[in-house]
Each structure stands twice: as structure tokens, then as C-alpha cells.
Amino acid sequence: MNKMIEYGFLCTSKDEKALMNALYKFLEPLNRTFSKSNNKGMLNARLPFIYKYFYWNLNKEKQVYVEIYPNTDLEGKCKFPNENVGWVLFANLKDVAPPYHVPIEEQEKYLNDLLSSSNFDFVKLYEYSDDEERI
């Protein structure tokens, strides 16, 4: 079973640099970083929302995948109606078989530490049910 959740950072779209700098600092001691993707195929997979780019990170050690993208796309469409959310973090926590199994509590702690390191308040926007398609 995978657990997919979307969180919103309470900031503006213009807070990208401050947000990402804080998140990069969190990943630095773990010898990890974010990738910034502007790959057309990856961006098309996010349709009907149109983004110039988004950030992503896969922490294989923790079995946690995250993406960070603006709440408002290039055409002005908001993914989530919360007007106080400038940026969204999508997280996929993976329940995999040993030897790669990581307890869900450990994955949730890692995710909460990442969110808290942003220096912005955040809210849970949506939690997907089992086998639900990502919106």
C-alpha cells in the first residue's frame, strides 16, 4: 500500500526561492538534492495543469518521493482552492517488501521534518485513498 498526500505551503508563488533554499538545506546533510524538471513528457503528465517546471526528489533510503510545484499554473488555474497556498508538495510514501521496507512511521517523520524545515506553515490539502488516481 502506498500513501499519497498533498500539502500546501502557506506562502505566495513569489516565495519560491526562500522555500526551495530551506528545503535544499534540509536535504544537504543527507547528501540529497532536488531535481528541477522541465522535461516536456513529465510536464505533460501533469495536465490539465501547465507548469514551466517542478521540483522532485526520491529518497530511496526512506522510500519517499516528493514533488513541489506552484498551486497556480501558467494559465492561472489553481489545483487547490486555498488562496493562501502558493506552493504544493505531493508526497508518495511507499510500502515495499524487505530488504527495502521502511516503516510508515519513519517515512512520515522524514516527511514531517522536510515540511517543517521550509520555514513556512503548511496544511494538508488532500490524502488519496488506496488505488485512487492522482489529481
Alpha-carbon distances, residue 31 vs 24, 26, 58 (angstroms): 10, 10, 12
Helix, strand, coil: what percent of the chain each, to 5?
25, 30, 45
CATH number at residue 104: 3.30.160.110
- 84 pLDDT exceeds 90? yes
Residue 71 lies in a domain: yes
Residue 135 lies in a domain: no
Residue 134 lies in a domain: no
Spatial separation of the C-alpha atoms in residues 111 and 23, rounded to whole Å: 11
125: CB partners within 8 A, 6+ apart = 6, 7, 8, 80, 82, 85, 88
Residue 76 C-alpha cell reads as 492561472
15-57 confidence digits (pLDDT tens): 999 999 999 999 999 999 999 999 999 999 999 999 999 999 9
Report pTM.
0.95
- The sign of the torsion formed by the CA atoms of 50, 44, 130, 117 equals negative
Residue 47 lies in a domain: yes
- 134 pLDDT exceeds 90? no
Residue 133 lies in a domain: no
Residue 92 lies in a domain: yes
Task: Look at the chain and report how many structural domains it folds into.
Answer: 1
Residue 61 lies in a domain: yes
Does residue 128 contact residue 4 with C-beta atoms inside 8 Å?
yes
Residue 76 lies in a domain: yes
The range of the structural domain enclosing residue 83 comes to: 3-127
